[in-house]
Every structure is written in structure tokens, then in C-alpha cells.
């Protein structure tokens, strides 16, 4: 079999693996286009483009724009998100081929085969390529740029870097660094061509921003808030929630503007919003320089550490809990980083031709450190490290020495030192449990979620809900009690479980402690009141019904339920007032009129009672309560 035949067969095998994973993830309930998070934002923007809003004005893009148009083109042509995932799998296969070709260009055929095999079995490459997310293009675009650079196609390499920057803006800093190294080693024409290519790549978006948004920005508007998250008050080096803002790409964009405009008390442009958060971060850095230097060191180590820091989806969940072929993709940062650094750090490779190519690694790593560390930001870095890993493995096979093995062992230990980061697996299990509560086996998923974080109140609450839904209220009660503060209405679920398990007094106490969120609708308050009524706890029900009446003063049903509750409390005058309002709002409500007449009889209002009982009997001649009141009045 020829080299070409083996390479073609290998590419087919790689595509088959990636295609199967794409098929598996396409059916997963948490990865559908309408399930929220970043995927939904990109899908909605792509559909706007397909509907004719090509420029997506009037402001700057709030996400990296290249993938919006890639998704619009691919989905518009196929009308299938599965087809989009398969196309991305094809590009991922091309990326493996480009990694092979680049490694062969620099390090030889055997190193190329090793690099290609490692890239093919790298789970996070295949994982991100199966998502409807801009990260699905990062590996291909980076591999393309580095291959063109190795082939000395400098303008095309710069153009590929520019396109990659439209998908992952951090690449822009690395591309400029590559060009500067070329200039530094007196390869002036090559450096100029790379810069020209980069400018040509980002120019369409920069021009669009000036023409449509009337603002100067090379790519998008989210650089300022990302810089603040990575360097401002509360920064950990990784993504963290900003107080008062939703932790989604669209939520951050909208809430960042709201908070900034509220602070400055004026309307801001997108660029001004970004500058506001950059300014906050620089002010914090200026006030805490020693802290910031320590943070930079932690982030630098975080970039080379193999720990998964996934946003917005968890690789470990889909690799090990979702039953996909990602489980067989055993290569990851745990191997690529130490072996890649070992391979690329060999001085034998350093020369005037390779220095610019090698400069991509530290330059891109520095661009991630400047903001915050997350797995998908690191994705382009793993492309040259896969190539370097091929070179490192080949060197060990050819010239194994104890010293080299010791160096690699130290790198391996440093890269894989546990940081105990949250890899998002527990959160995905919670999301799966919430879905399964409606569609499937919620108990299994909530138990798995609880195993990820024992004692977590939210997970305890979800497990309790799942057990209650499965008809096991007594088992649900202790979990709901431990999770009663996890959600505003968790106390309601606890009350139901207590009632079903034979503890109405405990259920009433649980209901009394429930405080619905400010945005709760009137039906929530009515439901709480009715549940308290079922528990023979009218004193607990009253405040719920009164809140419903204050929220919807023209809702007859709310006044009627409050009136019945007051009746049970034997507060007849107040009950009569509420029944009268009910009758005014709903004149054909015979129940309200009859019970109003009963209250008025008890209060000695005989004339009013006769009027209302007569009207009730006109509406319903056989009404039992009305007949009883009529008989009592006749005596």
C-alpha cells in the first residue's frame, strides 16, 4: 500500500470516528439549538442573517462573527444541524491531515504519523467539532494557518490567521507576534506579507463595524468584559459569574451594557461599554499590582495544566456520562502538552526558518493569560503542541536517554498536577436531571449529580423532586429539606412531599416559609394558597391569597379564593366584602352570590342577603347553599 493510500484510509477512519460522535451528540437533548447558552445565540444570529439581516446591525458584534456566517451558509444550504455537524467533522478531519503535513514539513514522516494519530485521538478536538459553537472551527483554522506558514505561503498564512482571529480574537495577538519575529530575523518581506494577510482577513469585519455600527473595532465588542472577568475585582484566572449579570454570551452582552450605563448614567456605544470594563480592570490592577502578578502566574500555569475548565458545556460529561465514542478518544492535554512542549523545546529545531512558527505557541498562550483561562480558549494552542508531540515522541524513539525521559516525566507531572477545578460535569448532570424530570429517568441523573458534589443543595433539591415525581415522597423529604434554600419555590415541593407522606402539619410549616421570587406570577401565589387550604391551614393561605389580590385586583378568582379562606377563619365581614367584589367582577357566579348571602345573614344584613340569594337562585334555581339561606331567611 502506498503512502497516499495509507493516508487516505487514515483520513476515512478519522472522519468516521468524528461523524459517529457528531451523530451521537446531534441527538443529545442538552445540545439542541434551542436549549440556551452560546449555541442558541449563534443559531439565532445565523437565522437573522438568513432572513436578510446580513450586516446584523446596528451595533458591534457581541460574539466572534465568523462562525455566524459559517453557520448561516451551511445551515441555509442544508436546513439540517446534523449536516452542519458533519461538515465540521469533515473540517476536523482536514485539520488532522494538516497537522500531519505540517509535522512532516518540520520533523519528518514518522513524526508526522505520530502527530496525526495523536490529533485524531484527541477527544476535545472531536468534541468541539461536534458542537454548534464557534470553537468547532478553531482547530481547522489554526492548523491551516500553521501549515501555510510552514509551506512559506506567507500572505495566505496571514489571511488564515486573520480569519481565525474573526473566530477566536486571541489569535490576532499571536499572528502579529509571528510577523514581528519574521521581521526581527530580517525576513522583512515574509513578515510584511503575513501582516498584509492578517489585515486582509480582518478587514471585512472592521469595515462593517465602521459602516454599520459607526464604531472602530477590529472584531467584536466583548473584549472589555472578558478582560474584566480575567483581571478585575473577583478574578480567579478562570471564568466566573459577574454580580448582576447572566453567565451566557448574550446575557453578558446585554447586562454589561445595562450595568455600565447605570454606573455612568448615560447611553453608551458598544465600544464605550467595552472600554468601561477595561478601565475598571486596569484600575483594579493599578491598585493591586502584586495580586495581579500572582494572578498572571496562576493563569500561566493554568494554560499549560491539563485540567478541564469547560464553558459552556462540559467535555467530561459528554465523554464519560453520555455514552459516546468520545470515551475512546483517549488523547488530551494530559499528553499533548508535556510531550508537545518537550518536542518543541529541543534546540535542534530552532533556526531562522522555524522561529516564527514556534513563536505562535508562547504568543498565543500569552493572549489567553491576558484574559482568562478556559478550555475552548486553549484549543488553538493544542494544534502546534500536537505537532510538537509527534516530534517529541519520534525523538524519544530514535534517541532515548534517561535525561530526556526525566525531563518528560517532570513535564508530565507539572502538566497533570491536580488543580481541583470544576469541570462542569456536575452542572451538566443537573441540566440532564432537569430534562429527565420531564422526559426520562431523573433519579439516575440527580444521583450522579449528587455524587459529583455531595451535599450540594441544588442537587439535593433536584433529587428530592425526582423521587417525589416517582411516587416516593417519604424518600424525597430529607433531600428536599436539605435543598429547601436551593430554589425560591423549593419549600412548595417540600410541602407537597410532606403532605403526601402523611405530615400535614409539617407541610403547613414548610409552606409558611415559602417566599416566591419577585417575578412570580399571580397563579404561583394562588397555587400556594390553595395548597395551604388543602392542609387545613387557612392562616397560612391568607397572605398568599392577599398577595394575589394585590397583584390582580380585577381577577375574580383571586378574590373568591381569599373570601373562602376568610370564611374558614370565621371573619365573615371581610369574607362578605371579598364575595361582593367577586360578584361585581363576575356577575354570573352563583356560588359567590349564595355565599355572600350566607355571610350577610350571619352578620344580620337581612335585606342584602335576600337580594343576593334571589340573584343566586335566578342564576341557579337548584343551588344548595342559596336554598338553605332562603329557608333560613323565611324563618
- Structure confidence by residue, pLDDT tens digits, 581-606: 999 999 999 999 999 899 999 899 98
Measure the CA–CA gap between 391 and 365, rounded to whole angstroms.
20
Both 108 and 42 in one domain: the answer is yes
Strands (E), 39-166: none
Both 322 and 457 in one domain: the answer is no
Handedness of CA 160, 162, 163, 164 (dihedral sign): positive
Both 384 and 470 in one domain: the answer is no
Contact between 459 and 426 under an 8 Å Cβ cutoff? The reply is yes
Contact between 129 and 22 under an 8 Å Cβ cutoff? The reply is yes
623 inside domain? yes
Both 134 and 194 in one domain: the answer is yes
Both 403 and 442 in one domain: the answer is no
Both 590 and 485 in one domain: the answer is no
603 inside domain? yes
Measure the CA–CA gap between 51 and 44, rounded to whole angstroms.
10
Say what the pLDDT of residue 60 is.
Answer: 85
Calculate the CA dihedral of residues 261, 262, 266, 269 and round it to 10 degrees. Answer: 0
Phi, psi (rounded to 5 degrees) for 86: -70, -35
Residues with pLDDT less than 50, the chain: none
Alpha helices for 305-379 (secondary structure H)? 315-320, 333-344, 355-370, 375-378
Both 355 and 484 in one domain: the answer is no
Say what the pLDDT of residue 334 is.
Answer: 97
Say what the pLDDT of residue 437 is.
Answer: 65
Query: Which are the contacts of 553, defined by CB distance < 8 A and separation ≥ 6?
Result: none
In the listed set 382, 415, 448, which residue is the last one of a domain according to the structure? 415
254 inside domain? no
Measure the CA–CA gap between 519 and 421, rounded to whole angstroms.
34
Nearest to 99 by CA among 368, 355, 387: 387
Q: How many domains does the chain have?
A: 3
275 inside domain? no
Tell me, yes or no, if the pTM score tops 0.85: no
Say what the pLDDT of residue 249 is.
Answer: 78
Other Cβ atoms less than 10 A from the Cβ of 598: the count is 24
Q: Grid coordinates in use for 115?
A: 502527530
Amino acid at each position: 500500500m502506498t503512502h497516499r493510500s495509507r493516508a487516505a484510509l487514515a483520513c476515512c477512519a478519522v472522519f468516521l470516528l468524528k461523524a459517529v460522535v457528531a451523530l451521537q451528540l446531534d441527538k443529545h437533548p442538552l445540545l439542541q439549538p434551542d436549549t440556551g447558552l452560546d449555541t442558541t445565540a449563534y443559531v439565532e444570529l445565523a437565522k437573522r442573517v438568513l432572513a436578510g439581516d446580513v450586516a446584523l446591525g446596528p451595533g458591534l458584534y457581541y460574539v466572534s462573527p465568523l462562525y455566524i456566517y459559517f453557520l448561516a451558509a451551511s445551515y441555509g444550504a442544508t436546513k439540517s444541524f446534523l449536516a452542519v455537524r458533519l461538515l465540521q467533522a469533515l473540517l476536523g478531519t482536514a485539520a488532522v491531515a494538516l497537522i500531519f503535513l505540517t509535522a512532516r514539513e518540520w520533523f519528518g514522516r514518522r513524526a508526522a504519523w505520530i502527530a496525526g494519530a495523536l490529533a485524531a485521538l484527541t477527544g476535545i478536538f472531536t468534541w468541539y467539532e461536534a458542537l454548534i459553537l464557534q470553537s468547532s472551527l478553531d482547530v481547522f483554522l489554526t492548523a491551516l494557518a500553521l501549515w501555510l506558514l510552514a509551506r512559506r505561503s506567507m500572505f495566505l498564512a496571514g489571511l488564515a490567521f486573520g480569519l481565525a482571529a474573526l473566530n477566536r480574537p486571541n489569535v490576532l495577538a499571536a499572528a502579529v507576534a509571528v510577523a514581528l519575529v519574521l521581521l526581527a530575523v530580517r525576513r522583512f518581506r515574509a513578515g510584511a506579507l503575513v501582516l498584509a494577510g492578517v489585515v486582509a482577513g480582518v478587514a471585512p469585519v472592521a469595515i462593517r463595524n465602521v459602516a454599520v455600527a459607526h464604531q472602530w473595532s477590529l472584531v467584536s465588542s466583548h473584549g472589555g468584559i472578558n478582560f474584566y472577568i480575567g483581571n478585575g475585582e473577583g478574578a480567579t484566572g478562570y471564568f466566573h459569574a459577574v454580580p448582576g449579570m447572566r453567565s451566557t454570551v448574550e446575557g453578558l452582552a446585554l447586562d454589561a451594557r445595562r450595568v455600565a450605563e447605570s454606573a455612568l448614567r448615560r447611553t453608551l456605544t458598544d465600544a464605550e461599554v467595552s472600554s468601561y470594563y477595561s478601565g475598571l480592570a486596569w484600575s483594579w490592577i493599578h491598585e493591586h499590582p502584586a495580586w495581579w502578578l500572582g494572578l498572571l502566574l496562576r493563569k500561566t500555569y493554568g494554560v499549560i495544566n491539563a485540567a478541564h475548565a469547560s464553558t459552556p458545556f462540559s467535555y467530561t460529561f459528554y465523554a464519560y456520562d453520555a455514552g459516546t465514542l468520545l470515551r475512546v478518544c483517549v488523547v488530551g492535554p494530559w499528553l499533548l502538552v508535556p510531550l508537545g512542549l518537550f518536542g518543541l523545546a529541543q534546540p535542534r529545531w530552532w533556526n531562522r526558518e522555524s522561529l516564527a512558527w514556534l513563536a505562535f505557541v508562547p504568543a498565543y498562550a500569552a493572549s489567553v493569560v491576558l484574559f482568562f483561562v478556559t478550555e475552548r480558549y486553549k484549543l488553538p494552542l493544542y494544534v502546534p503542541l500536537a505537532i510538537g508531540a509527534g516530534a517529541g515522541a519520534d525523538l524519544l524513539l530514535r534517541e532515548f536517554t534517561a535525561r530526556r525521559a526525566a525531563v518528560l516525566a517532570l513535564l508530565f507531572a507539572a502538566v497533570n498536577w491536580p488543580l481541583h477545578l470544576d469541570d462542569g460535569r456536575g452542572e451538566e448532570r443537573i441540566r440532564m436531571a432537569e430534562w429527565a424530570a420531564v422526559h426520562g429517568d431523573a433519579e439516575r441523573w440527580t444521583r450522579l449529580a449528587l455524587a459529583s458534589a455531595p451535599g450540594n443543595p441544588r442537587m439535593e433539591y433536584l433529587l428530592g423532586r425526582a423521587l417525589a415525581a416517582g411516587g416516593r415522597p417519604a424518600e424525597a423529604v430529607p433531600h428536599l429539606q436539605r435543598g429547601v434554600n436551593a430554589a425560591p419555590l423549593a419549600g412548595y415541593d417540600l410541602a407537597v412531599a410532606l403532605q403526601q407522606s402523611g405530615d400535614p402539619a409539617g407541610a403547613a410549616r414548610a409552606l409558611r416559609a415559602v417566599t416566591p421570587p419577585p417575578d412570580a406570577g399571580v397563579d404561583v401565589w394562588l397555587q400556594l394558597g390553595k395548597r395551604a387550604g388543602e392542609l387545613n391551614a387557612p392562616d397560612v393561605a391568607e397572605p398568599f391569597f392577599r398577595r394575589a389580590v394585590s397583584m390582580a385586583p380585577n381577577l375574580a378568582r383571586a378574590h373568591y379564593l381569599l373570601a373562602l379562606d376568610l370564611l374558614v377563619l370565621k371573619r365573615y365581614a371581610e369574607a362578605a366584602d371579598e364575595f361582593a367584589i367577586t360578584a361585581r367582577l363576575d356577575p354570573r357566579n352563583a356560588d359567590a352570590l349564595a355565599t355572600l348571602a350566607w355571610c350577610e345573614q350571619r352578620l344580620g344584613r337581612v335585606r342584602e342577603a335576600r337580594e343576593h340569594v334571589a340573584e343566586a337562585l335566578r342564576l341557579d334555581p337548584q343551588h344548595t347553599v342559596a336554598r338553605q339561606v332562603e329557608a333560613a331567611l323565611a324563618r
